[in-house]
Amino acid sequence: MNLYDIAGQFSVMGNCLEVKPFGNGHINDTYAVTCASEDGVRRYILQMLNSRVFPHPTALMNNFAAVTGYLRPVIKAEGGNPDRECLHLIPTLDGAVYYVDKRGEVWRMTQLIENTDAYLIAESSAMFEDAGRAFGLFIKRLQGFDAASLIEVIPDFHNTVKRYQNLEKAIAEDKMGRAAGVKDMIDFARARKGITGIIVDALDKGEIPLRVTHNDTKLNNVLIDNATKKAICVIDLDTVMPGSLLYDFGDAIRVGCSTAAEDEKDLSKVHFSQENFLAFTRGFMRGLGDSITQKERELLPMGAILMTFECGMRFLTDYLEGDVYFKTAYPEHNLVRCRTQFKLVEELEANLTFMKDTVERVYSDLKKGL
């Protein structure tokens, strides 16, 4: 595989000078491409999609193209800079939005948004708040897009009911003989079976709207401007699918409001950060503006609990099935991750009143223009 030949399949400006690995992503192979022309030097991002994680890469790319194609004129109409605030697919020489090599691998290219960085951990609550604003604004800008027209690149990704069913199946089959040793975690999950359908049922009944959602709202999926430290562009659109904004809010809280790493073995270190919850909620709701419905607002805290519970179930399911999905560094890695998530669920449940009161206080303040 010659990366220069791959890069040459796209309509770049000038001659390709350099192609080198870029970023710290764990799914797609990502490279920075430097090109030079008489107008100067430009850089691009070249990626090969991971066909194991995304078995339908062409469908994914169709989603990617449709969403970014919709966003760019919306941003421009708002007075923004779509070249800086939205990813833009560089077409191939044939005018396609992706390139398929001789092996059948799918490649794409976007502009590299200069003078930005992605952070694994927020430097301040203000940075986390502004990331929340960016994710909320992303959803708001797409409220006129027909979410149902998008393809589910990972079917039932946040269907917590089916995630629970998958767990029960793994328990029943017990392929690795591990179930007896994790009875406490199984009991924990079974005690919460009744809450698994809250978001799914609300969507099915039309109580909350089906929206275009990001579905991977980690902090490092928002580019931060180096000068202003403001969030300017939501990236990693591979999991953009139809869903609920509760998924995006909940997953961001799961990651950003825990005081410990996802695989922290010492559960006494796992706590819920009220400061970060307030910050992200304030930013997320400011980004959404008046597009959030009353029912969605009421369910925001439950979204945090459910997304954390769902993630813990996925780790436990994978542990019981023999660690076939998530990469692990040691035999109990997925079990450690499960215990950490379930401890955070307990923390969130204990703070449910705080979360509800915070959501309403933030909403009231925003209505007043504070």
CATH 3.90.1200.10 in the chain, residues?
A: 125-367
Contact (CB, 8 A) for 54 and 105: no
The predicted model scores a pTM of 0.93
- Options 3.30.200.20, 3.40.50.300, 3.30.230.10, 3.10.20.600; CATH for 3-109 is 3.30.200.20
Contacts of 172 (CB under 8 A, 6+ apart): none
Q: What are phi and psi of 148, to 5 degrees?
A: -65, -15
Is the domain 125-367 a CATH 3.30.1330.10 member? Answer: no
Contact indicator for 221, 118 with CB cutoff of 8 Å = yes
Q: Which two tokens stand for residue 174?
A: 């017990």
Give, for 42, the enclosing helix (H) or strand (E): strand 40-48
Other Cβ atoms closer than 10 A to 38: 6
Helices (H) and strands (E) in the chain, counts: 12, 10
Query: Where along the chain do the CATH 3.30.200.20 domains lie?
Result: 3-109
3-state SS class at 37: strand
* pLDDT tens profile 97-134: 999 999 999 999 999 999 999 998 899 999 999 999 99
Nearest-angstrom CA–CA distance, 111 and 338 = 37
Whether the Cβ atoms of residue 71 and residue 83 lie closer than 8 Å to each other: no
Residue ranges of alpha helices (H) inside 198-293 are 198-204, 245-256, 274-288
Question: To 5 degrees, how large is the angle CA 202–CA 208–CA 210?
Answer: 105
Please tell me which residue, 280 or 26, carries the higher pLDDT value.
280
Provide, rounded to the nearest whole percent, the portion of the chain with pLDDT above 70. Answer: 99
**For 38-84, how does the pLDDT look when each residue is reduced to its tens digit (9 = 90+)?**
888 999 999 999 887 788 898 999 999 999 999 999 999 999 999 99
Average pLDDT of the residues of the chain: 95
